[in-house]
Amino acid sequence: MPRPDRLTGRERAELRAARALAALSPRAQVRLSRRPVVRLDGQTLEPEMQMTLALLERRNEPQIETLSPAAAREQTRRRALVAAGRPVPVGAVRELTVAGAEGPLRARLYCTDEPGGPHPLLVFFHGGGFVIGDLDTHDGICRMLCVHAGVNVLAVDYRLAPEHPFPAAAEDGHAALRWGIDNAVALGADPARVAVGGDSAGGNISAVAARLAARDGGPGPALQLLIYPATDATTTRPSGGLFAEGFFLTRAQMDWFVGHYSGDADLTDPRMSPLLADDLSGLAPALVVTAGFDPLRDEGEAYAEALRAAGTPVVLRRFPGLIHGFANAAGISRVSRDALIELAGATRAMLALSRAGAVTREPSLTAR
pLDDT tens over the chain, length 368 residues: 444 446 677 777 777 777 888 889 999 999 999 999 999 999 999 999 999 999 889 888 899 999 999 999 999 998 888 888 789 999 999 999 999 999 999 999 999 999 998 999 999 999 999 999 999 999 999 999 999 999 999 999 999 999 999 999 999 999 999 999 999 999 999 999 999 999 999 999 999 999 999 999 889 999 999 999 999 999 999 999 999 999 999 999 999 999 999 988 999 999 999 999 999 999 999 999 999 999 999 999 999 999 999 999 999 999 999 999 999 999 889 999 999 999 999 999 999 987 655 444 333 344 44
The SS3 assignment for 137 reads: coil
> Of 148, 190, 200, 262, which residue is the catalytic one?
200
Phi, psi of 136 (to 5 degrees): -75, -35
199 classed as catalytic: no
Taking CA atoms, 353 is separated from 280, 357, 362, in Å, by: 22, 6, 9
Rg of the chain over all Cα atoms, to the nearest angstrom: 19
pLDDT (0 to 100) of residue 15: 75
pLDDT (0 to 100) of residue 355: 66
324 classed as catalytic: yes
The residues with which 94 forms a beta bridge, in sequence order, are 109
* Closest C-alpha among 95, 114, 115, 113 to residue 105: 95
> Of 136, 190, 199, 294, which residue is the catalytic one?
294
The residues with which 153 forms a beta bridge, in sequence order, are 110, 122
- Residue 187 to residue 72: CA distance in whole angstroms: 33
pLDDT (0 to 100) of residue 185: 97
138 classed as catalytic: no
The SS3 assignment for 226 reads: strand
pLDDT (0 to 100) of residue 7: 66
The residues with which 155 forms a beta bridge, in sequence order, are 108, 124
Strands (E), the chain: 39-40, 43-44, 92-99, 104-111, 119-125, 152-156, 189-199, 223-227, 286-291, 314-319, 365-367
- Residue 114 to residue 84: CA distance in whole angstroms: 23
Give residues with Cβ within 8 angstroms of 275, minimum separation 6: 231, 232, 299, 302, 303, 306
**DSSP states of 44-110:** E--HHHHHHHHHHHHHTPPPGGGS-HHHHHHHHHHHHHHHH-SPPP-SEEEEEEEE-SSSEEEEEEE
Q: What is the pTM of this model?
A: 0.94
- Residue 249 to residue 256: CA distance in whole angstroms: 11
- Residue 307 to residue 304: CA distance in whole angstroms: 5
